[in-house]
Structure 1
Amino acid sequence: MESHGGDTRGTGGTGPSSVGEGRPGRARLAVLALLGSVLVPLVAAGLRSALWALAGVAGLALAAVGVWWTLAHTGALRVLGAVLSVAAPLAVLALYATFGMLGPAVLSLALWMLAVTSARTALAPGHTVSGQSAQVLAEAPHSPWILLNPRSGGGKVGRFHLADRARAAGCRVVVLDGGQDVAELARRAVADGADLLAVAGGDGTQALVAEVAARHDVPFVVVPAGTRNHFALDLGLDRDDPAAALEAVTHGVELRIDLGYAADRVFVNNASFGTYASVVTDPAYRDAKARTTLHTLPGLLTGQDAPGLRARADGTHFDGLQALLVSNNPYGRAADAARPGRRQRLDSGLLGVVCVRVRNTAEAARLVGGPRSGGLVRLSAREVVVETGTDTVPVGIDGEHVVLPSPVVCRSAPGVLRVRVPRRRPRAPRVSGGAADWPRVARLALGRDRGSR
């Protein structure tokens, strides 16, 4: 994105000199912590530490098998799986404690986590999410418009007096009554002269209005009044104080970010296919999530209801998938399909893709091997095509259930949304460096990697 000038003070950026000075120190800390994570078990148990490591891996594999049996089966096998998923790691911990290895194992794990975290931050760019792109000081709009959903977030609109505060900011306020077409309300507002659209509600409502804002090239303001507000989180907004986001209407900075599309449906967070999308179709899901999930999953994972997803991501083919998550920009490296975490960028022009393929007990056990196991695949792509053996595909789009014709083409629309945010966003996350590049970390620690300064 090109910079158009403007005052970007107070946007949370970090000067290059301060960042560059801290990176060698973090790299040295990463190297020392990595060496410590290896030396601690060697000092405690010598060469036998390899056997203790294998015992830990075996315990994790048995726990993974137990989780698989719990989710994919019913009756006695489900009960056995639940017991195994708890008993296996407890048995390993008891074994470690009996032979005096619990302390060294915990210390080694803590040092390894410190090493990985320090390595990633040492290699990361020195700015915050959305701060890697130009932030333009925005002029106050002449006719801002805001849609309030009073039912979102258990009534946050009322608790935080958002209607009164929005009027004080100069907004024309519309309160959603449940039977209205959200997108049509936004289109009508633009036709009536609105030069800024805002939404106080959940991610599904945000997405509908964001598409209208992008189509008409008017700024968009997110007020996190929903339950989870993942979109607001990744923009760095304070979800505990939704009224603070209204500052962006009159005193904000403007960013250009991407939108994702699944067929003709826009998403600001993600579109999910397979098991999760099928579970949420059950009418009982909203009132009894856990019970409905446990009742439905066996048929979806191993029975006749298994979705059998096929996907193509920029030429890479996958089949036999149980679940597929396509996100508007990739989630962080620690993400998985159930808890995707946070996105470090919203303007990469790429979709994040997480594929889950676990068809039997052996594949469940191999999940402890991470991405190399083949059960969990992560990548980025500009376009993802999803197919099933049926004419339609259930999809969870930003938490809302829809049914789309098969195949579903997911794509990124780079930089189409003008988002205004407050100048100060204390919760904006730092950019993660992704998987640690240890040779580069070592060069940086020794002062030989000029490219990271």
Structure 2
Amino acid sequence: MTHAALLVCPASGKGRAARIAGTVAAGLREAVDRLDLHVGYSAGDTARLARKAVADGVDVLVVLGGDGGAHLGVQACAETPTALAVVPAGTGNDFAAVLGTATVDDVVANLRSGARKRFDLGRVSTGTWFATVLCAGFDSAVNERANAMRWPAGPRRYDLAILAELAALRAAPLVVETEHGVEELDATLVAIGNTPCYGGGIPVCPDADPTDGLFDLTVVTEVSRTALVRMLPTLRTGGHVEHLAVRTLRARSVRLGGDNGWVGYADGERIAELPLSVDCRPGALAVVAS
């Protein structure tokens, strides 16, 4: 018997998750023996319900939402027997893309076939887990600025935040410490990838593999505004790693520091100001994926 829980994040995708929740639940009931339904109306509520479902011993926790909901599901399922599945209904859906699930039908097919994998996770010194990418620098500053803006709504907020951060662009001292040694450099941004993409499909760490026990790091060193603007389109293809200003490396553990005032974001969620340490935990998450 398969006991599953569906955790709905109704605000995801501007209400899309709420609109398709009934259809998703009906589809899941065809593939499991028991389905519990939980609706989280806030991040705190969603986190609590995810923990409750895992404590109840469900075999599978299915999150209907975006990367924020998936991130909360990861916190509950990490290092437990409960497998995590995601039906994407947000704006980015980077973790669902890694799982290969675009719709509830994909999740249902995997449940019926018993498809399971073990994914690595990142564990931050704050105690937070992350499944995709932890970043700091330019891109996290864009998030910080956009989150503080009350106007405009939607994607234009991030467009304006990008323009504002480009105007204020300054390289800052960054210290990257891994099991291979310590590097001190002036940098614009750093990304630690357990999986390749963040920000809705941007392959910032294009070769990252969540099953190899290693992080892929991408560091953009000191670069002019003009050069960064020219580099940004290549992020969509992963071609940025060929730029002379970009450094890449692989490591099992990373400590990010430096007198820079940077804030770390992981899975699109604000974590804390640097310094931060992260460790790769091989196979820490069971996922429903083929």
Which TM-score applies when normalising by structure 1? 0.53
Structure 2 residue 65 is the aligned partner of structure 1 residue 231: no
2:193 corresponds to:
327
Change in CA separation of 1:372 and 1:190 when aligned onto 2, cut-off 3 Å: closer
Of 409, 420, 432 in structure 1, the residue corresponding to residue 288 of structure 2 is 420
Structure 2 residue 45 is the aligned partner of structure 1 residue 181: yes
SS in 2 for 1:280: helix
Q: Which residue type is aligned with residue 141 of structure 2?
A: S
Change in CA separation of 1:364 and 1:189 when aligned onto 2, cut-off 3 Å: closer
SS in 2 for 1:204: helix
Q: Which residue type is aligned with residue 358 of structure 1?
A: E
Structure 2 residue 177 is the aligned partner of structure 1 residue 312: yes
1:270 corresponds to:
133
Q: What does 1:2-401 correspond to in 2, within 5 Å? A: 140-141=1-2, 143-157=3-17, 158-159=19-20, 161-168=23-30, 169=32, 170-178=34-42, 180-237=44-101, 239=102, 241-263=103-125, 264-282=127-145, 283-284=148-149, 287=154, 288-299=157-168, 301-302=169-170, 307-314=172-179, 315-329=181-195, 331=196, 339-340=203-204, 345-360=209-224, 374-389=244-259, 393-401=262-270
Give me the whole-angstrom Cα distance separating, in 2, the residues matched to 1:197 and 1:361: 44
Q: Which runs of 5+ in 1 are unaligned?
A: 1-139, 424-453
Structure 2 residue 256 is the aligned partner of structure 1 residue 410: no
1:187-219, CA deviations, whole angstroms, 9 ceiling, x for partnerless residues?
222333323222111122212212321232222
Q: CA deviation at 1:258?
A: 0.5
Give me the whole-angstrom Cα distance separating, in 1, the residues matched to 2:229 and 2:55: 57
- Which structure's residues are more often helix, by fraction? 1
Moved more, 196-205 or 412-421: 196-205
1:105 corresponds to:
none
Which TM-score applies when normalising by structure 2? 0.79
Moved more, 361-370 or 186-195: 361-370
Q: Which residue type is aligned with residue 213 of structure 1?
A: C
Q: CA deviation at 1:342?
A: 5.3
RMSD: 3.2
SS in 2 for 1:253: coil
1:263-318, CA deviations, whole angstroms, 9 ceiling, x for partnerless residues?
2221111011011111211222864111221122222x23xxx5433222331414
Q: Which residue type is aligned with residue 353 of structure 1?
A: L
Q: CA deviation at 1:242?
A: 3.4
Q: What does 1:432-447 correspond to in 2, within 5 Å? A: none
Change in CA separation of 1:342 and 1:234 when aligned onto 2, cut-off 3 Å: farther
Q: Which residue type is aligned with residue 6 of structure 2?
A: I
Q: Which residue type is aligned with residue 283 of structure 2?
A: G
Change in CA separation of 1:249 and 1:342 when aligned onto 2, cut-off 3 Å: farther
SS in 1 for 2:79: helix
Change in CA separation of 1:289 and 1:371 when aligned onto 2, cut-off 3 Å: closer
> Any conservation in 2 of the 1:257–1:347 contact (CA below 8 Å)?
yes
Give the total of aligned pairs: 269
Change in CA separation of 1:362 and 1:223 when aligned onto 2, cut-off 3 Å: closer
1:85-134, CA deviations, whole angstroms, 9 ceiling, x for partnerless residues?
xxxxxxxxxxxxxxxxxxxxxxxxxxxxxxxxxxxxxxxxxxxxxxxxxx
> Any conservation in 2 of the 1:262–1:271 contact (CA below 8 Å)?
no
SS in 2 for 1:198: strand
- Which structure's residues are more often strand, by fraction? 2
Change in CA separation of 1:343 and 1:245 when aligned onto 2, cut-off 3 Å: farther
SS in 1 for 2:109: helix
> Any conservation in 1 of the 2:120–2:213 contact (CA below 8 Å)?
yes
Change in CA separation of 1:232 and 1:360 when aligned onto 2, cut-off 3 Å: closer
Q: Which runs of 5+ in 2 are unaligned?
A: none
Seq. identity, %: 26
> Any conservation in 2 of the 1:144–1:249 contact (CA below 8 Å)?
no
* Larger Rg over CA atoms: 1
SS in 1 for 2:212: coil
Q: Which residue type is aligned with residue 252 of structure 1?
A: G
Q: CA deviation at 1:172?
A: 0.5
Q: CA deviation at 1:220?
A: 1.9
SS in 2 for 1:217: coil
Q: CA deviation at 1:394?
A: 1.1
SS in 2 for 1:216: coil
Change in CA separation of 1:320 and 1:155 when aligned onto 2, cut-off 3 Å: same
Q: Which residue type is aligned with residue 160 of structure 2?
A: R
SS in 2 for 1:171: strand
